Structure 1
Amino acid sequence: MNILLKRILDRLVRTGNLKVTGPKGLSVTFGDGSGDLVHMHIKTTHAERAITFDPMLAVPEAYMDGELDILEGGVLGVMRIAFQNMDSGGIDATWSKAIEGLRHAFRRLQQINTAARARRNVQRHYDLSGDLYRLFLDKDMQYSCAYFEQPDMTLDEAQAAKKRHIAAKLRLKAGQTVLDIGSGWGGLGLYLAKSFDVDVQGVTLSTEQHGVATDRAHAQGLENRAHFEVRDYRELNERFDRVVSVGMFEHVGVNHYRTFFDKSATLLKPDGVMLLHTIGRSGAPWATSAFIRKYIFPGGYVPSLSEVMPAIEKSGLIVTDIEVLRLHYAETLRHWSQRFAANRDKAKAIYDERFCRMWEFYLAASEAAFRWQDLVVFQIQIAKKNDTLPMSRDYMAKCEKALQLRDMGHRPKAPAAKPARRRKVADME
């Protein structure tokens, strides 16, 4: 191990139990010995030199390229030590802080997400083989944070709970029109159309997702209720009773927040309601991870609430409710990582070893950021008028419970004075 990297690690890793073996086979241990051992093997001098000067990008790149192996503790263990040492002078040391500070300063240049560029960015990630995503997602292919009402929920149960949680905040009524911005593989839109008898229009920039969503609509007999298009939300001119967007806002870019909410305001009817579900930061604004931006989500950015609220306010929209989901995404990513590992050979057959190592790092590092850094999920409910929604949140819990019973196969009893009929969930709000 070169002297500079040894000095840096010795000064930065105050807690934990990190063992690093260098290219020449010599091993050095850092930290106070607490916790499980994490053992990294830096196999080449090229990787060692790169890690010395830009660890947050060079460590994942070296791992992807096979120039670094994690012999014990896994990627999650490496990231745990990195994040838990931040407050003790770890990654916040001058040399690393300066690099990340420059990335933050230039973040707007990296997020000029015009319609054409946005489509290219989406294709880089979401137009990967659908067979890949089926290896680790739930059966409904929900590629966003699940909602763990109970800690022992399965992934499928938690994703179903997420759809109920979102639906309850939209306060849907039969016959309404719903726009789903960033509709993915169609799971949420199809759920809303089926549960509430509403008309859903989903828009996505991914041709792969559009094809799957359209096929699913036909297979479920919902093609007259749920329609999906490859289209940028900025091109829309229709008006909707409800707008929902899940896991798409992270791709908008800080330069375009005002455009996003101004457009949302024009898309909503006067008594319209919007629900925005997005990854966010509980802390101050900061740069997107260099690794994530370069290899996983080009053009992506995770905002602080302080960056989102001004754009909503200037659009004339009203924030009616904000919920912060903590650790739910960490649990979601834990499930995804386990499923990906169980199907790793199948993923390698679709792509290659380097791709598998890249995705292993992506999933584990993301979980670590939600567990030990400042990443959370915001659910922001928005309306055009102050009196559109009830004054208390009781209607959300009531609708959620009704949906849960319906999903479990229970039918609510009809009022005694009326002929028996199967009531819509909306009737129970």
Structure 2
Amino acid sequence: MGMLRFQSQAGTDQMSALDRLARRFVLRTLARFPVGRLQLVEPDGNRLLIGEGHPAAALRILDWRAYRMLFTGGALGAGEGWMEELWDSDDLVGVVRFFAANIEPMQALEGGAARMLQPLRSMLHSFNRNSITGSRRNIAAHYDLGNDFFRLFLDPTMMYSSAIYAREDMTLEEAALHKLDVICRKLQLGPDNHLLEIGTGWGGLALHAARHYGCRVTTTTISAEQYAYACARVSEAGLADRVTVLDQDYRQLTGRYDRIVSVEMIEAVGHQYLPGYFARLNDLLTDDGLLLLQAITIPDQRYHYALRQVDFIKRYIFPGGFLPSLRVICSGLGRHTRLQPEQVDDIGLDYARTLADWRSRFLAARQQVAALGFDERFRRMWDYYLCYCEGAFREGAISTVQLLAAGPARRGRPAAQG
């Protein structure tokens, strides 16, 4: 059980009655956190030390209303308070890690006034369903921020998914290219293969597979910005004879392919559409084919709880986003396909490092972000997003897997080494 120690007396007479109530609730809840240590510095200079041990974190309450945001919004309120500059920290990832390490008792923060507002948030979020038209709207809300924006912090291949760091001294670009090779080798790609990619991104994987492994590639996206960018890259690379870029929803795809890859796209499918997604993969893959999914996952014990919550990512970053569990993915493959999972590799800590590299580049590009027309609130929102994800990966609150599955005619054949 955590401990709460006051290092000086708070001047709570400066606070509104609501803020005093909120502060009392939040501090009482934090005192029950069993893991780690958190130091709070309040607006009047009062210092509080909560808990002991690791992970350790420190934050500054800049405005008493920060407690109100936590009381009425829970974890989402914490993110909104950061965006509004009601609190700050020199180690935002450390703060996220502290809360992620206490993820079960953290749910008590959702039990204050936040619980009364959750049904309203859930109702509003229900309008973000990933139907064919809804998916385009949800994807546009994130990816159509503009290619120039994403270029500021992604590596030159424009890979917006976890890299794989084979060595400690690998750069972001080297790790991104290594990830592409890992995928292509697991799929055993060669000139005789036709690869379907569901979720083009900015075309990095499609170009890499065609250029270095000689296969044909059909890749599809529903982002207008990404479609235009990928088409231009294919043309510039002189690979139009081998790479076809489509502007189509996965539900509208036809044909048969002996290789399918989908990198961190399943998070945009949505829980209620998973059966149709897996059934579509089944129809599109040949009997002797291979499928590789790279997916951000949540522990199965928290899957259904997370479905009911509208967190910071769903509210501000990915309107139609959700995280599957590995069990949900394997169950979907078992129920709706004839495919058999053959290999699963966890790369969650690689994603934490990828996010740290993205954040370093993002923070270094502060002036360029402003020049693109994004204000300080947006910059803090994205900083929080990157730290929120990195901290969650480092504490194991979420992870990322690469899952390789085979069609019935391939079973028993040796798997390629990534």
Aligning the two structures, in what range does the TM-score lie when normalised by the shorter sequence? Answer: 0.7 to 0.9
Correspondences of 1:28-427 after superposition (within 5 Å)? 28-32=47-51, 34=53, 38-45=58-65, 47-66=66-85, 68-70=86-88, 72-86=89-103, 89-92=105-108, 95=111, 99=115, 109=126, 112-284=129-301, 285=303, 286-287=305-306, 290-315=311-336, 316-350=338-372, 351-385=374-408, 387-388=409-410, 391-393=413-415, 395-397=416-418
SS in 1 for 2:417: helix
Displacement of 1:223 in angstroms is 1.1
Contact 2:118 2:310 in 1 (8 A): no
Amino acid at match of 2:319: P
SS at match of 1:329: helix
* RMSD between superposed Cα atoms in Å: 2.6
Moved more, 117-126 or 48-57: 48-57
Partner amino acid, structure 2, of 1:82: F
1:99 Cα deviation after fit: 4.2
Contact 1:13 1:90 in 2 (8 A): no
TM-score (norm 2): 0.86
Structure 1 stretch 364-373 or stretch 275-284: which is displaced more?
Answer: 275-284
Alignment match, 2:15:
none
What amino acid does structure 2 have at the position aligned with 1:43?
A: D
Kept in 1: contact 2:74–2:109 (CA 8 A): no
Counterpart contact for 2:187–2:292, Cα < 8 Å: yes
CA contact (8 A) 1:177 1:240 kept: yes
Judged with a 3 Å threshold, the aligned counterparts in structure 2 of structure 1 residues 30 and 340 are, in CA distance, closer, same or farther, namely same
The answer to whether the 8 Å contact 1:318/1:382 transfers is yes
| Structure-2 change in CA distance of 1:59 and 1:98 (3 Å) | closer
Q: Structure 1 pair 111/272, CA: closer, same or farther in 2 (3 Å)? A: farther
- Residue 9 of structure 1 is matched in structure 2 by 30
Could you say if the C-alpha distance between residues 277 and 83 of structure 1 is closer, same or farther in structure 2, counting changes exceeding 3 Å? same
SS of residue matched to 1:234: helix
Maintained 8 Å contact 1:9/1:30:
no
Distance 2:180 2:290 in 1: 16
* One-letter amino acid of the structure 2 residue matched with residue 373 of structure 1: G
Query: What is the rounded CA distance, in whole Å, between the counterparts of 2:27 and 2:62 in structure 1?
Result: 12
Q: Is the 8 A contact 2:263 2:293 kept in 1?
A: yes
| Alignment partners' CA distance in 2, 1:26 and 1:7 | 20
Tell me how far apart the structure 1 counterparts of residues 363 and 110 of structure 2 sit (CA, whole Å): 36
The total of aligned residue pairs comes to 388
Letter in 1 for 2:156: K
Residues 70 and 78 of structure 2 are in contact (CA less than 8 Å); yes or no, is this contact kept in structure 1? Answer: yes
Amino acid of the residue matched to residue 333 of structure 1? Answer: L
8 Å Cα contact 1:239/1:267 also seen in 2: yes
* Gap change, CA 1:5 and 1:203, over 3 Å in 2: same
Change (3 A) 1:98 1:346: closer
CA contact (8 A) 1:42 1:48 kept: no
Which digits, 9 at most, give the CA deviation of each residue in 1:245-293, with x for residues without a partner?
Answer: 0011111011111101111111112212111111112442141661100
SS at match of 2:246: strand
Given that 1:12 and 1:91 are in contact with CA atoms closer than 8 Å, whether structure 2 keeps it comes out as no
Q: Which moved more, 1:171-180 or 1:285-294?
A: 285-294
**SS across alignment from 1:17:** strand
Cα distance, 1:17 vs structure 2: 3.3
C-alpha contact (below 8 Å) 1:37/1:73 kept by paired residues: no
Instruction: State whether residues 56 and 289 of structure 1, in contact with CA within 8 Å, keep that contact through their aligned partners in structure 2.
Output: no
Scaled by the length of structure 1, the TM-score of the pair is 0.84
- Find the aligned partners of 2:395 and 2:180 in 1 and give their Cα distance: 26
Going from structure 1 to structure 2, the CA distance change for 1:106 and 1:90 (only over 3 Å counts) comes to closer
Given that 2:35 and 2:53 are in contact with CA atoms closer than 8 Å, whether structure 1 keeps it comes out as: no
Residue-by-residue CA offset, 1:317-346 (whole Å, 9 max, x unaligned): 222222222311101101011111111121
Contact 1:275 1:381 in 2 (8 A): yes
